[in-house]
Amino acid sequence: MGAHREVPSEARTEAATDPELDEAHQALVRDVVAQGGLTDPAWRAAFEEVERHLFVPYYYVHGSRGYERLWGEDPDPVRRRRWVRGVYGDEALATRMRDGELISSSSQPSLMALMLEALDVRGGHTVLEIGTGPGYNAALLSHRLGDAAVTSVDLDPEITDAARGHLAAAGYRPTVITGDGARGCPQRAPYDRIIATCTLPSVPSAWPEQCSPGARILAPVATGLVSLEVRATAHGPRAEGHFLHTPAYFVPLRGASPLSEPVSRPGGVPRRAIGDELFRFLLTLTVGSLDPRDALSLWEREERPQRERYGVTVAEGRQWAWLDDPEGPYTWSLGV
């Protein structure tokens, strides 16, 4: 069941005296389970015992007059009830804004559960998390593996400072580093697992180099989630694997090259294709490498390929995406 330990009683006082929060928390867990998530009892225990509201004391919602801040200490009971419903809703929450731009969020819990289960951690594994956010995901990992096994990196000192406070309030103390996530965290390498909670244009080459042989990297690339296995070769580490079935939208990794977005309707591409989520995924994955009409031809010829048929390879200083076979006819450079 992992490295669970009792959370200090002072960190649980609010939940113990607030039935509304407790019921909303347990309702969220039931909702994720009803969607088919948390099949691993250890992850279900983590979601049942790590309280999301400790990591999201406030968040922002978009309304007709711009962004509105909801917070747990609001004296207005109606507004506080809205905060409770949101913090334990199965949705991503905007947790930090700067000059009108979203720079940090708390991910959708059902997507977090899917990613953590896909990470396939075992007792004794060490994990590097890229994108600390409010610290909720790091707490779930710490519940499962223990504080010493978890390292989390974020570029913004305000984000990491706040996350340390949230984690301590919940009774967890993983290593939280302020730094460029694209560079990983070499001083605490090697890692058995790397998980990113921010969108990437490509997989940073530093990550496979900081992995143990047989490690796994799970990262949002384009609008999907790619799971890479890392193995040692005579020419250095090779990371390779397929995308998962689910779409995924995250805040971009700060410090990395921006992710180019395809135009809303490239010339020669019919509206029916642009309206198809799988084609938009292919467009984003091939932007800068394939002409949109060539992407359309591939998509039609292969009869609307599902996400799981696509993959990524990082090896020998190169990186490419592919359909079906990394050495097959459909390959293109990634992150150009």
Bridge-partner residues for 230, per DSSP? 239
Amino acid at 210: Q
Phi, psi dihedrals of residue 207, rounded to the nearest 5°: -65, -55
| Residues 51, 25 contacting (CB under 8 angstroms) | yes
Cα dihedral sign for 260, 269, 219, 315?
negative
Measure the CA–CA gap between 303 and 306, rounded to whole angstroms: 9
CA dihedral 296, 302, 308, 314 (to 10 degrees): -70
Measure the CA–CA gap between 81 and 72, rounded to whole angstroms: 9
Q: Where do we find the tokens 């607030």?
A: 18
Residues 6+ apart with CB under 8 A from 146: 2, 3, 5
Measure the CA–CA gap between 217 and 119, rounded to whole angstroms: 8
DSSP 8-state secondary structure symbol assigned to residue 200: B
Q: Helix H segments across 9-75?
A: 13-16, 19-34, 41-49
User: Has 104 been annotated as catalytic?
Assistant: yes
Measure the CA–CA gap between 238 and 251, rounded to whole angstroms: 27
Radius of gyration of the chain from its Cα atoms, rounded to whole angstroms: 20
Residues 6+ apart with CB under 8 A from 165: none
Catalytic residue among 9, 64, 104, 260: 104
What amino acid positions are annotated as catalytic residues?
A: 104
